[in-house]
Amino acid sequence: MWEIRDKNIWITGASSGVGQALVKLLVKRNNFIIVSSRSRTKLLELQMLAPTRIRVLDCDVGNDEDMVRAQRALSELTDQLDLVIACAGTCEYDDGLQLDIASYRRVFDANFFGVVNTLRLALPHLARAMSPAQKPVFAAVGSLSSVVGFPRAEAYGASKAALGYFLDAVRADTSRVALSIVHIRPGFVDTPLTSTNDFSMPFLMSPESAAERILSGLEAGHKQIDFPRRLSLPLRFLGFFRTLWFRFCAPKITRIYKLRFH
């Protein structure tokens, strides 16, 4: 058990939703926080909460060139990082199985390559925080949607499933060094990302409550933070007994009754 207080933290996806709620909680605990997203204006507004303890690093995590600039900017802001939360992400549904490659690339750029870029920039700074007393943490936000194959979520779910494998491999590679890799998988959270969803979202929670669960999971030292349990347990059960999912659940939620070819 550790307390996230007086730490150096970098949060991507901080301009809204879960990322912003995390910043608001963490700033109350006297942490120094670097906030990132593409929208500099929103980040500057957020900085008004604590101008000396919140620093703005606007960048597009999925854009490799922009991340070269961000690497220099990050080094100017801090030498070392105790905690990184890669929260930036986006969602695009594949309606009618269009398999639009451009859409898949946008989703993978933010949700998968964005996390790879974030880790690349963060690693030297996390390494500087490593000591026998302190184990720095790299956490990334995936999704419970990657536990089973959801209709229309081919791009989003696949990007989050790829993220899960990536984090496992990084955890294996760093298993002899003092670095914690954490995979966070929320259920439905009421944010701009889900605001246009036209289906019922079971156990929808507020971004504040999601942020609290993430922080308590991090402080407890959990490597996998799945919530809410009411959703994660049945999904994990169905992920294990996949035949049940495809026979009884998927046919009830798919919107495709006939494939159309143009």
Ligand X SMILES: NC(=O)c1ccc[n+]([C@@H]2O[C@H](COP(=O)([O-])OP(=O)(O)OC[C@H]3O[C@@H](n4cnc5c(N)ncnc54)[C@H](OP(=O)(O)O)[C@@H]3O)[C@@H](O)[C@H]2O)c1
Contacting positions for ligand X (CB under 6 A): 12-19, 37-39, 42, 60-62, 87-90, 110, 114, 141, 143, 186, 188-189, 191-194
Q: Toward ligand X, which CB reaches closer, 16 or 103? A: 16
- Looking at the DSSP bridge assignments, the partners of residue 162 are none
Instruction: Give least dist CB 242 to ligand X, A.
Output: 21
Instruction: Give least dist CB 218 to ligand X, A.
Output: 15
Q: Toward ligand X, which CB reaches closer, 192 or 251? A: 192
Instruction: Give least dist CB 52 to ligand X, A.
Output: 22
Token digits of residue 135: 């184990």
CB 203 within 8 A of CB 187: yes
Instruction: Give least dist CB 201 to ligand X, A.
Output: 7
In this structure, the number of other CB atoms found within 10 A of the CB of residue 66 comes to 15
Instruction: Give least dist CB 60 to ligand X, A.
Output: 4
Q: Toward ligand X, which CB reaches closer, 168 or 190? A: 190
Pinpoint the alpha helices (H) of 180-222: 207-219
Q: Toward ligand X, which CB reaches closer, 40 or 247? A: 40
Classify each residue of 123-159 as buried b or exposed e, where b means 16 or more C-beta atoms within 10 Å of its C-beta.
bebbeebeeeeebbbbbbbbbbbbbbbbbbbbbbbbb
Q: Toward ligand X, which CB reaches closer, 129 or 210? A: 210
Residue 231: exposed, middle, or buried by beta-carbon count in 10 A (0-12, 13-18, 19+)?
A: buried
